[in-house]
Amino acid sequence: MNTPIVYDYKGSKISFANGENVMVNATEMAKPFDKRPAKWLELPSAKDFLSALTAIRKSDTALIQTNSGGINGGGGTWMHEDVALEFARWLSPAFAIWCNDRIKELLKYGMTATQPTLDEMLDNPDLVIRMATQLKQERAEKARLEAENAQQIERIELQDTQLKQQAPKVKYVDNVLQSVNTYTSTQMSKELGLRHAEQMHKMLKEKGIMFKQSGQWLLTAKYSDNGYTKPRTHYFTHNDGRAGTNTTTVWTELGRAFLHKVFQTIKEAI
């Protein structure tokens, strides 16, 4: 873990360590709210979130690390940026927004636009050059992603044309594949003419497309990075007033087209 950068949140010091991923000191996060990370980690919703995140990210980086030493010496519980934001939402929505802003700035520029950083820029020309270089690289990466997105849209439009030919009963508007809509497995199973979502999941399991882990259906490694699904987090309040979350897997428009293609192939094989 890199040397942490410490920021002030309403008089409380919160440490962020920027490396391959941003790690946040959860012990420091919880202190202003008189809470402890262990309490959140005991919640079923937190366990479900960590299980789903582990399955989806497939990262070698530990999501939660415990460092020895006092809190002033970098000790305590450290959380991966994705986990830290979920934990922050449990502590306070406003605090979660503040943490998200710090993380985004760190990932983009390796620093945040706080007053100490601005003062350092004035005294250190090399810092200004480094920021300008990072901005230039960011713009080049943005242009590359836009080109890739344009190619992907062309592929999706081709798939849409094929889908309309194979399944004329499915109604699509001209811009459907550019929509941000997502669909639950229950919605997709009805659209495909199946009895329920479990039937669809089992058929996809037989095809080696999905598997079940910790009560959640996920895509196998071969299909997990194709943009067919995404996690959807639901926020709710327990009877005792505690905030809770529940994460489910939903299908994107690209995944919807993929399912129609798969089940059309199944029908033709029968």
158-176 per-position pLDDT tens digit: 777 766 666 544 444 333 4
- The predicted structure's pLDDT at residue 25: 95
Q: Are residues 118 and 10 located together in one domain of the fold? A: yes
Range(s) of the domain holding residue 253: 156-269
DSSP 142: H
Distance CA 254, CA 1 (A): 37
- The predicted structure's pLDDT at residue 30: 95
Q: Are residues 104 and 210 located together in one domain of the fold? A: no
Q: State the chain's mean pLDDT as an integer.
A: 81
Q: Are residues 35 and 119 located together in one domain of the fold? A: yes
Closest CA to 212 of 182, 188, 185, 181: 185
Is 151 within the bounds of a domain? Answer: no
Q: Which of 123, 139, 168 is the last residue of a domain?
A: 123
Q: Are residues 175 and 93 located together in one domain of the fold? A: no
Q: Are residues 118 and 184 located together in one domain of the fold? A: no
For the chain, what's the residue count? 270
> Is residue 35 over pLDDT 90?
yes
* 70 three-class SS: coil
Q: Are residues 74 and 11 located together in one domain of the fold? A: yes
Q: Are residues 112 and 163 located together in one domain of the fold? A: no
Report field, pTM of the whole predicted structure over 0.75: no
- The predicted structure's pLDDT at residue 74: 63
Is 135 within the bounds of a domain? Answer: no
Q: Are residues 61 and 167 located together in one domain of the fold? A: no
Looking at per-residue pLDDT, the higher value among 212 and 110 belongs to 212
Count of domains forming the chain: 2
Place of tokens 């497309």: 209
Q: Are residues 112 and 180 located together in one domain of the fold? A: no
Could you report the per-residue pLDDT of 235-266, keeping only the tens digit for each? Answer: 777 777 787 777 778 999 999 999 999 999 88
